[in-house]
């Protein structure tokens, strides 16, 4: 049951884990390339599922994917990926698991070309959080032209499970956009 008097964004009121994530991580600008790599992969894992499912399994993902170290993941064998895909500590979806290796290789190729992943994704918002000043959940888009372009560009680089909606969720989580409700206590801390 949720507390209607709680001023937080309504989507997080279902559990203490959700509230903690909302209060301490979601929407906070992140400029760490490895952390952003984790975020884009977890958002991809979430496709078609609820975020709480992934949040509940996040530690399993971190353990199985070497804390999202792209260097290590890029060297995973097909056999290792198959073993990971069968582990109940994560969502058992072979294509999503395999995508993490593809994404690691694309992340490394980007870095090897002289671009940090952080700089690459933040350029979509001119390196400044977009403040959407949302007053209700109806104000929050599922995707935007910017997330659609990010999706197309990431796919060209070799990333997988990075559709426009996934990219927008990533932008929200990583603080590229501030979609906290203006009435939410976290809004001011994430405001551009």
Per the annotation, the verdict on 51 as an active-site residue is yes
Among 26, 38, 43, 107, which one carries the catalytic annotation?
43
- Rg over alpha carbons for the chain, rounded to the nearest Å, is 16
69's tokens = 């170290």
CB 117 within 8 Å of CB 70: no
The residues near 183 (Cβ < 8 Å, ≥ 6 apart) are 7, 135
User: Which one from 18, 26, 38, 51 is the annotated catalytic residue?
Assistant: 51
**Exactly one of 11, 21, 25, 116 is catalytic; which is it?**
21
Residue 18 bears catalytic tag: no
43 Cβ neighbours under 8 A, 6+ residues apart: 166, 167, 169, 170, 173
Catalytic amino acids?
Answer: 21, 43, 51
């Amino acid at each position: 049951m949720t507390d209607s008097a709680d001023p937080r964004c309504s989507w997080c009121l279902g559990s203490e884990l959700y509230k903690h994530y909302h209060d301490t991580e979601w929407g906070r600008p992140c400029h760490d390339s490895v952390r952003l790599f984790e975020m884009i992969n977890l958002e991809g894992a979430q496709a078609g599922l609820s975020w709480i499912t992934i949040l509940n399994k996040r530690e399993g993902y971190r353990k199985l994917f070497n804390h999202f170290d792209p260097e290590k993941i890029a060297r995973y064998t097909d056999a290792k990926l198959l073993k990971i895909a069968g582990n109940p500590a994560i969502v058992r979806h072979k294509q999503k698991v395999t995508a993490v290796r593809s994404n690691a290789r694309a992340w490394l190729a980007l870095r090897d070309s002289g671009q940090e992943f952080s700089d690459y994704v933040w350029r979509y918002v001119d390196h400044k959080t977009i403040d959407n000043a949302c007053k209700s959940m109806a104000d929050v888009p599922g995707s935007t032209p910017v997330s659609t372009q990010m999706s197309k560009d990431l796919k060209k680089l070799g990333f997988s499970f990075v559709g426009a909606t996934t990219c927008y969720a990533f932008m929200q989580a990583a603080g590229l956009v501030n979609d906290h409700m203006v009435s939410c206590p976290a809004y001011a801390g994430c405001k551009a």
